[in-house]
Structure 1
Amino acid sequence: MTRCCFIAAIVLLAINTTNAVAETSSEKSSAEQTPAHAQITDTSDNRIPQPSNTALTAYVWDFSRSIDNNYDDWPDNWQRKVGSRYPQYVKIGISPHDESVEQKGRHFDSEVIRYWPNLRQHFDSLPPLPPSFADLVSDRYLEVELDGGLAMVQSDKVKTSRVYQYRLSARVMTRNLVHDSARVEFVFIDEDGQQVEVHSTEPVSGATNWKELVINNVRAPNHATHMFVRLIVEGAEDGLEDIRGTVGFDDIRIEPFPQLQLITDEPLGVYEYGHGVVATAIVLGLPTGASKVHFQLFDVNGKKLASERADIATSIRERTITIDSIQMQSATDKESKQLLDMRFNWTLPRMRPGFYRVTAFLEGKHISSLSTETNVAVIEPLVDTRVPGCFGWTLPQGDKVPHGLGASGVITATENDSAAPSNDYIASRDLVNWLLQIGVDWVKFPCWVAPDDDHAASRIVDICTRLQDSEIQTVGMLDVPREDQIPLYDLRSRRDTVASEFFRDIRVWHPLLEPVMTRLTLKVRKWQLGADDDYSFLGRSRLRESISSISTGLQGYGQPLEIAICWPWTEPVLPKSETSWQAVCRSGTPELTSKEIDSYLELSRDTNYAGGPETWIVLNPAAKSHYERDSRILDMVLRMATVRKHRVQAAFVSNPHDPENGLLTSDSRPTMMLLPWRTTAQLIGSLRQVGSLRLRSKANNIVFAGQDRAVLMVWSETPCEEKIYLGDDVEAINVWGRTEDLEVETIENRHVQSIKIGRLPIFLVNVDPENLAFRMSVEVEQTQIDSMLGQAQPLDVSFANPTRDGLAGSLEIRAPEAWSFDEPSIEWELLGGHDTKTQFEVVLGNSAKVGDYELALNFEQQTVPPKRFTVYREITVGPVGLELRAATRILEGGQLQVEVEMLNHSRLPQSYDCILFPHSGRKYQRRFIQIEPGEVSRRDFYLPDAADLLGTTLLLRASEQDGHRILNYEIPVQR
């Protein structure tokens, strides 16, 4: 019986396997382009109103027998790199996950082969050899056994299409790795086999169980015809490699998905206010069931502003061919210039200046999530006349600015790839115009090109010329040569790819740089050695002489150059006598706060003022993953404001495209940080921080001023409102670049603007610079006046005329009712640039209370027309050195306890006769308090049946013994 079952199992296995092979052969004959190891998933649905009966091909390398047809334990058509660092003796091959399972399968196969000839006599459909049971049950992977070398293996290439986006996934395992790491690369090549684009997973090291690595949403670049997977085991950056260790790769998949792209008619997403915005959704490889494209528009706070639906059934425009004919077609195949073109446009409603997010997603039956979004910034000029400031960008990739495709950049039936715009480089004119739009006033541009690369050198000369003509200060950056040029610089190791090593031997670098520098130094005078985080010159011996020698070598026969080097914040700058460079760029990780920047710049102030090198700094936004939006914006704006307090000639964002600390998305569209940076840079970039106002709302503020304009920046952790007069045409600009008119009120015959202040800064523009300077000059000399009731005391008010011309006017003090002045209003007259002190005599009446007061100083300047405004200053009434505190609470039984404390900060003892006057006809109570120097004395008052006293105010009158002071103190009754 057992033997019969065994034979039956063999027959069923053979028949099923034969049928499977036959079906696979049929599929292969109907689609010759599909590799034998690719998995086909049919996504057809005849209900969709366009020809979409397309099978999306997922390429899978699972290292099973299907990709090792010659039984050599090596995947068919795969290649390995062999060289000095990639020795042949490093064992790489297909291995089973479980050796015991494979052994049992082999044993089963050996039993089957004994009965196979007899079985074929009874079953004519059986193949000559039985299928391998071991191949069916054994799970295999690609294993790398390290032996003191590295490994690099790549798959066979498969065709790619720009119709789809791709997802690469792979499982990786590592054992006993100390120095080495493993990763997977997704590589696109052109028709000549040259690499066009490479995407890499994160590296895996140490001891790691099977882990899936994924690269999502990859689109085939222009000119790419094929793609493949590269498996890499590499050593540490310090050159150390593992002698022992194991790496495994398995289940490598390249999966295509339909593409839903969202673009706008401005590829970089920046629009001038008033220009229309058209968003276009491009659907490639349309999934089954899709019926509509749904657009939505959101503001910066996520509020939905508008939406629109486009009907796919009535909007699709198909040209001459179906998607079947392009499924495996390369976008650069010149024999096929026809692609499916499905576009859905939405003209967005008119938008005010600010940041916006546009989304698009597909609707329909059986639709999995397929959505996309893009950002749009609407801007307007923020200053009447552009004056170059100090804020700029470092462009590490130069004019290689990823910018996606505009509305005309999608391949259609009449376009081919040779005519398609490049996503890599941006035209020099467009680059400069874009930088001007965004408010960039300084640019660091990489200029290290090969000596024979005339095309790159000409392009850089053109860009630098346009930048300089547009008054954008340009700094040439010599950070690192092109990859293929690095071996020419005689470096000791790959770790030495830093500026100080490249410039180590003038005999090496001078011949390589001279052809380029001869052309560039005619246009660019400022040069930085190394990237913004390259501190390799720090600690170099004879640094002054070294930089001088490099400068002379770079200059050649051109104009004298200004050399900059990078210096960490944590290291003190060198005195002028030890420097030969003209600028030092300060930076560090993590980013410093505004207070820390202020402190470091204060430490180096003496060097700056003594004629030492200019100070540049790196000023990146805080990390996106660590802080929420408003905190990042406030932090960035405050640090930019701090820069304008010191002699900092330039402040750079080191990489605007950085996903953590940048201002742009990967395709150069605005993030939420771009507009706050632009607004701040344009409004204060050319101004100096000159102080602050004392506002009644206690809001934080900074005053910036230049020759003919001033800006007041205000913010507050707690929302508040300030009413103040700052000029006739004052406007408020928020960090998003939106201008708002301020509400004007009239208070006591004086106009004031009403300003609502929140956590994010507001910039008040068109303020009167003279008014701000006058307000900041006003001081009340006495911060405290004594509680000498009925006696005249001096009150001095000083102020200055900030203008060049003479100024006259009057000053009136508006004080509490119990205060009186012998002369409440005083006329004054001042020459330009002079100050004065005006003295008033104040008398406190019997009902005057001790405590803190706000004096309203009403100024009227005799101008045409007259200017009337009020400045507020605080003053304290009470004896110097004495502090009085009081508190109340209701005790059990309804009794009110009043606690009175007096603190004596003076050097003499003080004594007071204290009388507490309750309201409602209650009898007063009396206590005597004596306080020794430096001590605290407390007295309690008790009032019965105090329920009716809640919410009222008690009066405490303290008369100084053997003195003339009388302290009137109000005590609010609380529980």
Structure 2
Amino acid sequence: MILSSLATCYLALLAGLPVEGNLVEDTLPILSYSFETRQDQDFDDLPDDWSRRKGPGYPQYVDVRIDRNLGHSGQQSLHFAVNGGHATIYSPPEKIDADHAYVFRGYVKTQRLLHDAALISISFLDHKRQRVQHFVSQPVSGTHKDWVEVTLGPLTPQANVRFIVLGCHVAHNDQKDISGDIWFDDLWVGSLPQLDILNNYHRHFVDHSAEIRVSSRISGLNPDNQYRLDLELVDNSNRHIADSSLALVTKPEDLKAVEHSRLLDGNNHTEVWRLQPMEYGFYEVRSKLIRDQKSILEKKTTFAVIDLVNPRATGEFGWTISEESENLAVKELPEIAAQAGINWIKYPLWNVMESDDIHRTSQVAEMLDQFTNRGITPVGLLNHPPKKLRSQFAKDWLGVSGIFTMPSSFWSPSLEEVFARYTSLVNYWQLGGDDDNSFIGLQNLNETLKKVKSQLDLIGRDTHVGIHWDWKTPLPTDSMPQSFVSINNAERLSAVELARELQNARLSPGGSPRWVTLTPLPKDEYSAEARGIDLAKRMVTAKYLGADVIFASSVFHEQHGLLNRNGSPTLLFLPWRTVAIALQGARYQGAFNMPNKSTNHVFMRDDEAIVVVWNDEPTEEVIYLGEDVVATDIWGRRISLERDANTHRHTLRVGSSPMILRKCNQQIANWRLAAQFEIGKSRSEYGGHPDAVLGKNTFLQSVRGKAVLNVPRGWEVEPQEWVFDTGAGEKYRLETFMTLPSNASLGRKDVSIDFDIFAERKYSIRVHRPYHVGLGDIMVQVNDKKLKGNVLEIEQVIVNNTSPLETLQFRCSLFIPNMKRMQRFITELKHGQDRKLYYIPNADALKGKELWLRAEQVNGRRILNYRWTVGENWDKPDTISRKQRRTENAISVR
């Protein structure tokens, strides 16, 4: 609990990156404090020239003095006697410059701390000795037998920095300790050369045709050392793309002696690495500064090669920014968001007014206005109440519902300034963040929302109020006008689980608009490929099942964010962008039946069809989609599609990663979706079955067409070919009569229809449609199992689901290669099931063989045929194979 409370208390004092490897050993020391006697010349038990903070909340009764009996490396240290209050002591300012980076190392020891913690801060001051940058270490609490090493850095000062100050702190939040001990010792700061990779929007998001420019700024080099700058470029798969190495010479006389070198003019130099235009995708630049053959500094940055787009005015995708921070690139964020395919953005606005930066409120307002200008609707998050308001709840804090269920006079004063400043820019407000569960199951929920909305309407107009929900709790069915529910789940539902929840939500009566928040998989637990695939599938699922808005949660999150703090993309930015740009504002039309059963979803927008397709098993699908199809993977990389010279059909190599097909012919896609069987299923009886092919002319003109029905071998179809004429938008019906052979197997059969359509030109379209043999009124299940003694056991189960109920009798025959067929008889089967067993010797010899079970109805026309391969489920002897389950599901469709 101490960590989370201190994170709140010290939100403005974010620490720098930790020191890696032996970075401390590679620095030049500039100051150190060991609190030995030589640093207390006046013997007042305090280090010379250090100053203690005074004022409210910092009582002087907290004893701070040098402990002369305990030290880390020496005999003494700085001791704090914890006594229920804050305490801070600062070192005297020490001169530094902005050409170097700085590294801190110190040691802390604590005893008997439950709520308080020890921290060390570093402040950078300008020439007026005003603080311009502040960093704080991770807190140390509890009881430690040994000293705890604390590090910060490398810390990069701003250009106006002239001094550094160290601070030792004892701090707490709502709860505090009244006893305990803290010691600080061996505080040390060293300097390093400074290496920065210059970042801005145009370096992070590069048009496909543009030159790549990577700019590195180097300063603080020592003329007595030799330096080299190494650069490497890798892609999203960590594959090496390019590299560069340049010696940095500080002495003119050394220039000729070093190959591939550059003489630095002064102590602040910018080196630009130019690369030819790159293929679409995600790239990372790794920069190393080498001193005397040893790497002393490393920096990374990322960029994405994309086609820059003009923002669309409407769409269903959005981002959540859960924490307001002055480190965010608010000036560049609107442009980045516009290139990410979003039309919604949540931003925390409650605590903006508490910023130490007097310009922050106007900067945020300008950012919100820029969002609106790019078709992005801002949503104000009221998730971080002011500390003064929050502290009134002490231990009883459950979430912001505790505030908003109070009379409006309790909370409205803290929001008046926020509303007055931003309601002209923000019409949507969410009470609490996407992790605030306090409204779930709340009594008088509608009354609470109405109360907040009425307060908002006093200042703004057309305001909408929403709350967070989760998938575990039934959604609220009573809807209030202009409200919304934002649904999140910390367990990260898979695409299949999300589909199930969204389908249930669609069946729920009434209710407010459902916004879905997707939390990507964390980078420390999953590969980049797995994370991208999972995010893309969930985005497509939420889109086709009709989520009103689809948000990515916490886009700056270290583990699952889409952006780094400086605005550069993470690995997940491109999968998000590729899907969002493709489906932004599109409407869902349905799915194609593909020969190899690949999952696919078809969307329409403007004059194009967009198809997203994947398959758990690698396969190929052959399908004609139009003349101008563009295929990409989820990283935005172009995929070359093979085409048949005669049929013009595309060959799609489909795998688990979604393929996105843009610019598909919309008229052809709609024709394919419209063509279907009128009945599409028949009884499991020998003989004829009438049916018809139905469809619609989806072209913008009259067409003349020819259709040919392709059926499994042995089926008889009359007629099998048709010639027809139909006007634009007209429907057609092609009647036929199917006769199934007596050995037709139960289940789903792949039937196709070839259309030759003559419009402004000839189009050849093959449409795949399933045809079901068996209505599901009688089901056959088969399971084979290897027993001891190499005996094959075959279990046959026939289920009678007829309605009205029929009493059935069957003569069952099991056909086995090179063996006499085996028979069983079923008599008087009423509602329910009949189970029969067959035993065959030498099971291993039959593994991989196809067996055929045939059940002929006595005194009836039904003939049930079932074929399967032996041994598919031997690794799970008590279960039914996947293939069999698919067949059962297929034949149970009524």
Q: TM range, normalised to the smaller chain?
A: 0.7 to 0.9
* 2:344 counterpart (436, 442, 461): 442
Contact 1:160 1:220 in 2 (8 A): no
Matched, 1:925 2:827: no
Contact 1:181 1:204 in 2 (8 A): yes
CA distance in 1, matches of 2:338, 2:503: 32
What is the letter of the counterpart of residue 633 of structure 2?
N
* 2:657 counterpart (749, 754, 760): 760
* 2:76 counterpart (136, 140, 150): 140
Matched, 1:811 2:707: yes
- Report the counterpart of residue 5 of structure 1 in structure 2: none
Q: Deviations over 1:3-22 (max 9, x none)?
A: xxxxxxxxxxxxxxxxxxxx
CA distance in 1, matches of 2:531, 2:434: 21
- Report the counterpart of residue 280 of structure 2 in structure 1: 353
Q: What secondary structure, in the 3-state scheme, does the structure 2 residue paired with 1:925 have?
A: coil
Q: What secondary structure, in the 3-state scheme, does the structure 1 residue paired with 2:576 have?
A: helix
Decide whether aligned partners of structure 1 residues 777 and 293 sit closer, same or farther in structure 2, where only a CA change above 3 A counts. same
- How far apart are residue 75 of structure 1 and its match? 1.7
Which stretch shows the higher mean deviation, 882-891 or 64-73?
882-891
- Report the counterpart of residue 312 of structure 2 in structure 1: 386
Matched, 1:860 2:725: no
What is the letter of the counterpart of residue 865 of structure 1?
R
1:96-495 pair list within 5 angstroms? 96=68, 139-209=75-145, 210-236=147-173, 239-263=174-198, 269-286=204-221, 290-313=226-249, 340-363=267-290, 365-381=292-308, 386-395=312-321, 400=326, 402=328, 426=331, 430-445=332-347, 458-477=362-381, 492=392
Contact 2:138 2:150 in 1 (8 A): yes
Decide whether aligned partners of structure 1 residues 469 and 782 sit closer, same or farther in structure 2, where only a CA change above 3 A counts. closer
1:465-614 pair list within 5 angstroms? 465-477=369-381, 492=392, 501=403, 517=419, 520-529=422-431, 531-533=433-435, 547-548=449-450, 550-556=452-458, 560-569=461-470, 574-576=476-478, 579=480, 582-595=483-496, 597-598=498-499, 601=502, 605=506, 610=510, 613-614=512-513
Determine which structure has more spread, i.e. the larger CA radius of gyration.
1
CA distance in 2, matches of 1:833, 1:515: 57
CA distance in 2, matches of 1:514, 1:938: 78
Q: What secondary structure, in the 3-state scheme, does the structure 1 residue paired with 2:580 have?
A: helix
Matched, 1:57 2:61: no
Which stretch shows the higher mean deviation, 466-475 or 711-720?
466-475
Which stretch shows the higher mean deviation, 547-556 or 242-251?
547-556
Decide whether aligned partners of structure 1 residues 189 and 581 sit closer, same or farther in structure 2, where only a CA change above 3 A counts. farther
Decide whether aligned partners of structure 1 residues 837 and 898 sit closer, same or farther in structure 2, where only a CA change above 3 A counts. farther
Matched, 1:905 2:799: yes
Contact 1:377 1:670 in 2 (8 A): yes
Matched, 1:88 2:24: no
- Report the counterpart of residue 803 of structure 2 in structure 1: none
CA distance in 1, matches of 2:281, 2:445: 48
CA distance in 2, matches of 1:888, 1:503: 62
- How far apart are residue 201 of structure 1 and its match? 2.3
TM-score by length of 1: 0.73
What is the letter of the counterpart of residue 469 of structure 1?
N
CA distance in 2, matches of 1:714, 1:539: 39
- How far apart are residue 765 of structure 1 and its match? 1.1
Contact 2:279 2:305 in 1 (8 A): yes
Q: Any stretches of 5+ residues in structure 2 without a counterpart?
A: 1-23, 255-264, 801-805, 873-894
Contact 1:730 1:741 in 2 (8 A): no
Contact 2:199 2:566 in 1 (8 A): no
- Report the counterpart of residue 260 of structure 2 in structure 1: none
Matched, 1:713 2:685: no
Contact 2:711 2:751 in 1 (8 A): yes
- How far apart are residue 301 of structure 1 and its match? 0.8
CA distance in 2, matches of 1:941, 1:707: 62
Q: Deviations over 1:128-178 (max 9, x none)?
A: xxxxxxxx9952222222223332222233233322222222222222222
Decide whether aligned partners of structure 1 residues 576 and 930 sit closer, same or farther in structure 2, where only a CA change above 3 A counts. closer
Identity %: 26
- How far apart are residue 347 of structure 1 and its match? 0.6
Q: What secondary structure, in the 3-state scheme, does the structure 1 residue paired with 2:375 have?
A: coil
Q: What secondary structure, in the 3-state scheme, does the structure 1 residue paired with 2:243 have?
A: strand
- Report the counterpart of residue 597 of structure 2 in structure 1: 698
1:7-22 pair list within 5 angstroms? none
CA distance in 1, matches of 2:419, 2:454: 12
CA distance in 2, matches of 1:960, 1:476: 68
Contact 1:529 1:563 in 2 (8 A): no
- How far apart are residue 211 of structure 1 and its match? 1.8
CA distance in 2, matches of 1:345, 1:915: 76
CA distance in 2, matches of 1:305, 1:755: 27
What is the letter of the counterpart of residue 856 of structure 1?
S
Q: What secondary structure, in the 3-state scheme, does the structure 2 residue paired with 1:73 have?
A: coil
Contact 1:181 1:203 in 2 (8 A): yes
What is the letter of the counterpart of residue 470 of structure 1?
R
CA distance in 1, matches of 2:439, 2:787: 71
CA RMSD of aligned residues (A): 4.5
Number of equivalent positions? 822
CA distance in 1, matches of 2:764, 2:226: 67
Contact 1:94 1:142 in 2 (8 A): yes
CA distance in 1, matches of 2:736, 2:467: 57
Contact 1:886 1:971 in 2 (8 A): no
Q: What secondary structure, in the 3-state scheme, does the structure 2 residue paired with 1:342 have?
A: strand
Contact 1:744 1:752 in 2 (8 A): yes
- How far apart are residue 583 of structure 1 and its match? 3.5
What is the letter of the counterpart of residue 461 of structure 2?
P
TM-score by length of 2: 0.79
Q: What secondary structure, in the 3-state scheme, does the structure 2 residue paired with 1:751 have?
A: coil
Contact 1:142 1:249 in 2 (8 A): yes
- How far apart are residue 911 of structure 1 and its match? 4.3
CA distance in 1, matches of 2:345, 2:209: 29
What is the letter of the counterpart of residue 743 of structure 1?
E
Q: What secondary structure, in the 3-state scheme, does the structure 2 residue paired with 1:643 have?
A: helix
1:775-924 pair list within 5 angstroms? 775-780=672-677, 785=682, 791-800=687-696, 809-827=705-723, 838-844=734-740, 853-875=749-771, 881=778, 883=780, 902-906=796-800, 908=807, 910-912=809-811, 914=813
What is the letter of the counterpart of residue 563 of structure 1?
H
CA distance in 2, matches of 1:300, 1:137: 46
Q: Any stretches of 5+ residues in structure 1 without a counterpart?
A: 1-40, 44-54, 100-135, 319-337, 404-424
